[in-house]
Structure 1
Amino acid sequence: MLSSGALRAHLLAARLAGPVATSREESLRSYRLFSARDPRVTLGLDPEWGWGERDLLRLMADKCGVSEDPAYRFGPDVIDPELTLSALDAFAARLGEAAGRRAPVLLGTGHPHRLLGFYAALADALSAAGCLVLTPAQGRCVDITTRFGVRTYNLDYVRGVALVREPGVEGAGCETGAHTHSPLPIRVALEGVVDGGWPLPELVVGDHGWVCGAGQLGIEAIGLADTDDPALFVGEAEGRVSVAVPLDDGVRSDYYRPLTRYVLNRACLSQ
């Protein structure tokens, strides 16, 4: 079993925590846009409270460990590994609870190139524990506004994990997909749940709009978030996201494997 100390060392060595690749400039820009309710960073969340830039900076210092000093504006951002470990424990506890009651679950990612393997391992373990891993609305179109205009994607599933891919991409089912922050894919998936007569998910696991979009609709949601993703932490503060795990969400995919082992062990889902 991977110990907390060993995982802490890995988090720092892989730059999943500690000084991370996400820059302070990127984070502050996201806080500024979030305070203006820009949908590119609210990720489907409709905040109940007024969140100014200073409020967000204090929140992210508390939840992630970033510097609370507004004068620090350039350089790498920082994630406290102890906060990551604590959140991973809470994340694992939620997975274990869902597995214990064999709850229907939905997993989705806007970071398929980096995080698909992490979520797929969770999907496999939850399925083995008797959970229904939902895969509704496969192939359905999702129109997402990007900086290039409105683009149409198709909802797809790889090893039980939802993602979107561009139409006509060769090899549907292969481990590729588009990066997206949009909450529209989770909405399309939930429409598919209703249309297909499936049970609604009791837990959504993922990132970006998958988590915030589900939480906004009152579905329990847990996920991973970087220092420039304040929406998940706001959702957690307001009670609509159960757990937001602070870590760099853009490192090499194999660097997340120790996190997978740690979470599955903590959730008593190791096979």
Structure 2
Amino acid sequence: MHRSTTRPSKSARRSAAAAPPSRTRAQVAISRQSRREAAKQHELEQFGRTYYKYLQLFEDISVSIRQQYTTEEIMAAYDREYEIASAEQKPGPTILTVEEVRHNLAALAARCEMIPKSLDHCIRMGFAASTYIHTMMDHLIGHPSQSYTFKDRCYVLYLANKLFRENNGQPSAPTGLPRLIKLIPDVPTTRGVTPADIKRWGSKPDDLTRKAFISEEILRRVFFVVDYAVKRHRGPCYDVQFEDTGTEELTFTAKQLLEMVANAELVTNMDS
């Protein structure tokens, strides 16, 4: 059999030697995954900084008004502003689009930039700062179309807490969010949630309804599980109320809520 004796030219051999080795599909996939993870990390850090910004604003307002006004004056202004805020709430779809959520956040941010001229203005700004925080966490990060996990939410809280402590030079946690509705007794009795609880609620989801929990992740948040239903698109879901968001009911998937209650305290002295 005749073999060709043609050899590559010197220039061809030099080009082949200089060319970098081609990346495998696995390497390309890893590179893309790394870029996605880096982008997500950047987003979470930005959320953490934003959370801290409005948490600090809320804390500054709380400290300022306590120094300038009596408790009676503060409560009277609080009641007036809460009535206004309740009247401004308009009925709408349970789940807003991401664009609608961002629009609401922009309006809240604008309200937080106002120059307060009275106690009522201060309370209004405090409401806006508090609402911005829970809207960002519950409606934007927690939006069904987003891929953020419960671990991601905890990381945002961790970053906000870290910034708060670093910039205030104190180990104490911030004052806390306002109590717009009363969901638990003033002196609650609690116990930790056990793996057995999670297993039971996972198999009997209705047993988790009508129960209240206290989360102590940076800010103390009280939430009450209102109802359970199987949604057409989202599957098993729970409607939940938070004391700091008023009568509004937020929807969480069964998986999301089980992750939340696993890290919370169960209130055991609820009125039957």
Question: Is TM (by shorter chain) over 0.5?
Answer: no
- TM-score scaled by length of structure 1: 0.24
- TM-score scaled by length of structure 2: 0.24
Q: Determine which structure has the larger strand proportion and give its number.
A: 1
Q: Determine which structure has the larger helix proportion and give its number.
A: 2
Bigger Rg over Cα: 2
Larger RCO of the pair (alpha carbons < 8 Å, separation 6+): 1
